[in-house]
Structure 1
Amino acid sequence: MPHIGTYDARKVVATVGGVFITGYADGSFVKASKDNDNFEATSSAQGDAVVSVNGDQMGTIEITLNQTSPSISYLDNLANTRAMVPVWVNSNNEIKEVAGGTKAMITKPSDKEFGKAASNRVYTLKVFDYTVK
């Protein structure tokens, strides 16, 4: 019998500075990634391999909110004050996933766009001790 997995976006939560972020945009609303590979591999002309371990632990988390999100003023304030805070993304779905770190900063307040319909606000958080659990 085939495995049928389930996913529920309501089981994904992001916390920034211990505060639960709410008011996500439609579509992909949180993206987490390590900035660099864990290692680089090269080989010589004769096939000898060399693995260089990369000690860089930085990562990036991008949070996309709807223009009406109550979290916008909080995140803009963190960006403006250059506060260093923990950030965690937790997926409590069938496959549990956690990404983030204890030391992160928001690169800048979100860009503002106004039009006939509500637009999105995107926040980029640089995580200095990024980990995936």
Structure 2
Amino acid sequence: MPIINSYDAKNVTVTVDGVYITGFAESTFVECEKTEDTFQTSVGAQGDVGISEVNNPLGTITLTLQQTSPSLSYLNRLAKSKKIVPVWVISQNQIKEKIGGTKARVMKAAPSAFSNAIESRAFQIQVFDYTQE
């Protein structure tokens, strides 16, 4: 019998410096990615393979909000402040995930666009001790 898991976007929370972020845009609203692969390989002339570990702890979390989000001004202020803060993305769905770190910084204020419909704003957050569980 097949295993069936369910997912609900409402079970995903994002906190930045302990503040819950709200007002996400539709579709992909959070993206999390480690900056580099965890290892590199080298193959010698006779086919010998060597692996070197990459110890880069950086990652990036991108949050996409609606321009009407109450969190918009908070994240713009945080970017301007240059403050180092914890950031966590936690999924309490059937497949549990916890991504983020204790040291992160909003890279810049979100680019803005205006039209006859609600636009989205994307914030990139650099995480200096990125972890994914």
Aligned partners of 2:113 and 2:10: how far apart in 1? 26
Residue 72 (1) aligns with residue 40 (2): no
Task: Determine the structure 1 residue equivalent to 2:32.
Answer: 32
| Structure 1 runs of 4+ with >3 Å offset | none
Q: How many residues align?
A: 133
Task: Determine the structure 2 residue equivalent to 1:121.
Answer: 121
Cα displacement (A) at 1:89: 0.3
Task: Determine the structure 2 residue equivalent to 1:5.
Answer: 5
Aligned residue identity for 2:61: I
Cα displacement (A) at 1:18: 0.6
Aligned partners of 1:63 and 1:131: how far apart in 2? 17
Aligned partners of 1:97 and 1:41: how far apart in 2? 29
Residue 16 (1) aligns with residue 16 (2): yes
Unpaired runs of 5+ residues, structure 1, are none
Cα displacement (A) at 1:122: 0.4
Aligned residue identity for 2:100: G
Cα displacement (A) at 1:8: 0.4
- Look up the SS of the partner of 1:129 in the other structure: coil
Aligned partners of 2:6 and 2:118: how far apart in 1? 30
Aligned partners of 1:12 and 1:40: how far apart in 2? 33
TM-score w.r.t. length of structure 1: 0.98
Cα displacement (A) at 1:62: 0.1
Identity, in percent, stands at 48
Task: Determine the structure 1 residue equivalent to 2:42.
Answer: 42
Give CA deviations for 1:95-132 in whole Å, capped at 9, x if unaligned: 10011000100110001111101100100000000001
Aligned partners of 1:125 and 1:38: how far apart in 2? 20
- Look up the SS of the partner of 2:52 in the other structure: strand
- Look up the SS of the partner of 1:76 in the other structure: helix
Task: Determine the structure 2 residue equivalent to 1:59.
Answer: 59
Aligned partners of 1:129 and 1:78: how far apart in 2? 19
Task: Determine the structure 2 residue equivalent to 1:107.
Answer: 107
- Look up the SS of the partner of 2:73 in the other structure: helix
Aligned partners of 2:68 and 2:13: how far apart in 1? 18
Aligned residue identity for 1:6: S
